[in-house]
Structure 1
Amino acid sequence: MLTRKQHELICFIHDRLEETGVSPSFEEMKEALDLKSKSGVHRLISALEERGFIRRLPNRARALEILKMPERGEVVKLAKKAPRVEAPQPSQQPPRPAPANDVIEIPLHGRIAAGVPIEAFESDAMLSVPAALLGSGDHYALEVSGDSMVEAGILDGDYALIRRQEVARDGEIVVALIEEAEATLKYFRREGAMVRLDPANRAYDPQRYAPQQVRVQGKLAGLLRRYD
């Protein structure tokens, strides 16, 4: 059973795809649903994706495909407030052209240390990213602070593009949340009974923690750099 906002969003996406063949932008969805921030749109899309109503097409921006619509009775209830939401049953949906944009917006969740760990914080900001830099899965971005990953080509002020996941293999660059308070970007390694977070700068020492002190928040999927 979908919430009212989830109903409104999938119907808005359906109507836009029917009209133009291109799914709406996060800004358009935010305005259509009268939401305060684009992060609310991101949460609604993730919920619809988890429930099997839509899917995001890989390597494309704003590329959403509707897999099924809500049951007709559910849509009729919503139609009292939004008359245009009634849609064909899944088997009746005509083929539509695939969106062909090349930029996607992902949540920007503040700054992350590439040196001494600093407190990570959430925000409602979004970052426009070339879709070719992202693969499958759910992604977010963090602004890099510090120079301890310079030998891996990760510089202060870069944007680390992170694929959400909670496990990591030795040698992967991950976002590690330390004691549920501070986050850092480092190579992940296991060392006996400990977890070792390695910098990519010989001026810094590895950091060692008990496994219960460290929680993987994602794996580095790409890097975005701006030149002023």
Structure 2
Amino acid sequence: MSALTKRQEQIVTFIADHMETYDRPPTGTEIADHFGWSSHATAYEQLRWIEKKGYLVRERSGARGPLHLSLTDKARHLVDDAWMVLGRIPAGPLSDVAGEHLDTVAGLEDLVPVSLKPGDYFLRVDGDSMVDAGLAEGALVVVRSTQEATSGDICAVWVDGDGGTLKTVRFEDNTVHLVPQNSAYMPTQYPAERVRIQGVVVAVLDMRRV
């Protein structure tokens, strides 16, 4: 019983981030507040299981002293190898794209057919307009952060005034064409000054098969 649940992975990541920011581990109350739990007892129960799985060491100074948390090498490896999932991106009509760090994934390097680089991140596909390119709804795409692309690239793009989407881009003079890979959808075009390339898709993972 060594695998962490998704919530336990989030707790380990929170502890690591807190230690990096404040140079000390969080208290049980701080963990409970961060995850919206009404009682710190829930946090301590989760910490007990995380310790049992080998990702954490809990030490108390004296019978009534404060509880000190330290992450094991196993936890450090998990945190260091985690990649950000920044949110969901519509493969369909334009809409707002979550731009905050929503989650992390780890241990997927062997499933990604490219070498991941610093700055790469994952987005989860929402919609079916790119299904013929292998980007099914729910898939994770690996996005390489860049503001430059060439015609034919599948990109995460932001259109000022309309929002974001995942489409094949084609450039023509001062116009950017956003081309779906599904015959049920029509291409759209925008003046180049309204379109911002946020990244190029370099790989896709169908999480239904993982």
Corresponding residue for residue 205 of structure 2 = 224
Please point out which of 151, 154, 160 is paired with 1:170: 151
Deviations 1:179-220 (A, max 9, x none): 065111111101233110110001111110000110000000
Please point out which of 7, 32, 47 is paired with 2:19: 32
Count, aligned residues: 142
Gap regions ≥5 residues in structure 1: 1-24, 37-98
Comparing 160-169 and 125-134, the one that deviates more: 125-134
Q: Are 1:166 and 1:215, in contact at CA under 8 Å, matched by a contact in 2?
A: yes
Cα distance change of structure 1 residues 124 and 192 upon mapping to structure 2, 3 Å threshold: closer
Please point out which of 199, 213, 216 is paired with 2:180: 199
Cα distance change of structure 1 residues 26 and 112 upon mapping to structure 2, 3 Å threshold: same
Corresponding residue for residue 81 of structure 2 = 104
Comparing 26-35 and 146-155, the one that deviates more: 26-35
Q: Are 1:141 and 1:162, in contact at CA under 8 Å, matched by a contact in 2?
A: yes
Tell me how far 1:173 sits from its aligned partner: 0.5
- How far apart, CA to CA, are the structure 1 residues paired with 2:157 and 2:186? 16
Q: Secondary structure at the match of 1:227?
A: helix
Deviations 1:92-121 (A, max 9, x none): xxxxxxx998x8322222211111111112
Task: Name the TM-score, length of structure 1 as normaliser.
Answer: 0.55
Corresponding residue for residue 109 of structure 2 = 131
Q: Secondary structure at the match of 2:81?
A: strand
Task: Name the TM-score, length of structure 2 as normaliser.
Answer: 0.59
Deviations 1:150-184 (A, max 9, x none): 10010111112111000001111000111065111
- How far apart, CA to CA, are the structure 2 residues paired with 1:181 and 1:149? 19
Comparing 199-208 and 123-132, the one that deviates more: 123-132
Q: Are 1:137 and 1:164, in contact at CA under 8 Å, matched by a contact in 2?
A: no
- How far apart, CA to CA, are the structure 2 residues paired with 1:181 and 1:200? 20
4+ residue stretches of structure 1 with deviation over 6 A? none
- How far apart, CA to CA, are the structure 1 residues paired with 2:83 and 2:100? 12
- How far apart, CA to CA, are the structure 1 residues paired with 2:168 and 2:118? 21
